[in-house]
Chains A and B, each alone.
Chain A
Amino acid sequence: EPEVTQTPSHQVTQMGQEVILRCVPISNHLYFYWYRQILGQKVEFLVSFYNNEISEKSEIFDDQFSVERPDGSNFTLKIRSTKLEDSAMYFCASSEKGLTAYEQYFGPGTRLTVT
C-alpha cells in the first residue's frame, strides 16, 4: 500500500541553525501539506502546496519557513533559523485532490528538537 515517507525521523539542532525536513508523498497525489504538533497540543496546519506553488499558509508559516518540490518525488520544509519554539513533530501529508474533500494521508513525522 502506498504511503508517505519522511526523513529524518528525529532531528536535533541548535537554535539559529537551518534544518530541512524531507518528505516523499504518495506518487499519484497532487496536493502536499505540512502540519506540526507541539507535544501535548493539537495538530496545526502550516502550508499547502499544489502545482509547484503554495496554495495556502497559516500565520505560523512566516518568513523563516519555506517549502520546495526540488524534483518529481521529494517535498521539503526548510526552517532557516530555528527557535526553541519550533520544537515539535512535523508531519507531511498528501492528497489525491484538494478541490474536493479528498482524504489526506500523513507520513510518520519528523521529531524536531531545537536546543
Chain B
Amino acid sequence: QKEVEQNSGPLSVPEGAIASLNCTYSDRVSQSFFWYRQYSGKSPELIMSIYSNGDKEDGRFTAQLNKASQYVSLLIRDSQPSDSATYLCAAFPNILTGGGNKLTFGTGTQLKVEL
C-alpha cells in the first residue's frame, strides 16, 4: 500500500527562523512530489513540486528529494507568521509503469511561526 508519512506536529519556530518539514514515502512507484499549504478550513494550495533528486529552490522555499532514502523535505527560510498553516506532502506515481494518476497525501504537518 502506498503511504506518505509526515509528523503531524505542531512544529513551532520563531519568526525569521528556518522551518524544516519532512516526509517519507513507502512506495518506490512514487515518481514526483508536491508540497501543498493548507490554511484551516481552506483548500490545498500548491507551493512546490519536485521531480528529480536534489534541491529545488523557489523564493523562500526549498524542496529536497532523495529517492534512494524515499525522503522529501521542505525548508522555509525567514519564516513569517503568515506561513503558519498545515503543510501537506503528496506523492504522484509514474503512470507509465502502471502507477495510476492520483495524488497520495500525507496527514500534514502543522507549522506555527511565533512572533
Interface residues of A (CB under 8 A from B): 31, 33, 35, 41-45, 48, 55-56, 58, 89, 91, 98-99, 101, 103-109
B92 cross-chain contacts in A, Cβ below 8 A = 101
Docked complex Cα distance between A43 and B95 (Å): 20
B103:A91 contact, CB within 8 angstroms: no
Q: How many of B's residues come within 8 Å of A, CB to CB?
A: 25
A22 to B: closest C-beta gap in Å: 15
DSSP class of A's interface residues: helix, strand, loop or mixed?
Answer: strand
Chain B residue nearest in CB terms to A47: B102
Given A33-B102, A33-B103, A101-B51, output 17 extra A-B contacts at Cβ < 8 Å.
A31-B101, A43-B88, A43-B90, A43-B105, A45-B102, A45-B103, A48-B100, A48-B102, A55-B101, A56-B100, A56-B101, A91-B44, A98-B101, A99-B96, A101-B49, A104-B34, A108-B43
Docked complex Cα distance between A58 and B42 (Å): 23
- Known contacts A106-B44, A108-B43: does B31 contact A101 (CB below 8 Å)? yes
Chain B residue nearest in CB terms to A108: B43
Q: With an 8 A cutoff between CB atoms, is B46 at the interface?
A: yes
Q: Which of B31, B34, B43, B102 contacts A103 (CB 8 A)?
A: B34
Docked complex Cα distance between A104 and B105 (Å): 12
Q: Which of B88, B96, B102, B105 contacts A56 (CB 8 A)?
A: B102
A43 cross-chain contacts in B, Cβ below 8 A = 44, 88, 90, 103, 105
For chain B, residues 28 to 44, give those with C-beta under 8 angstroms from any C-beta of chain A. 31-32, 34, 36, 42-44
Chain B residue nearest in CB terms to A43: B105
B104:A107 contact, CB within 8 angstroms: no
Q: Which 5 A-B pairs have the closest CB atoms?
A: A101-B32, A45-B102, A43-B105, A106-B43, A98-B101
B95 cross-chain contacts in A, Cβ below 8 A = 98-99
A47 to B: closest C-beta gap in Å: 9
Docked complex Cα distance between A35 and B108 (Å): 16
B106:A42 contact, CB within 8 angstroms: yes
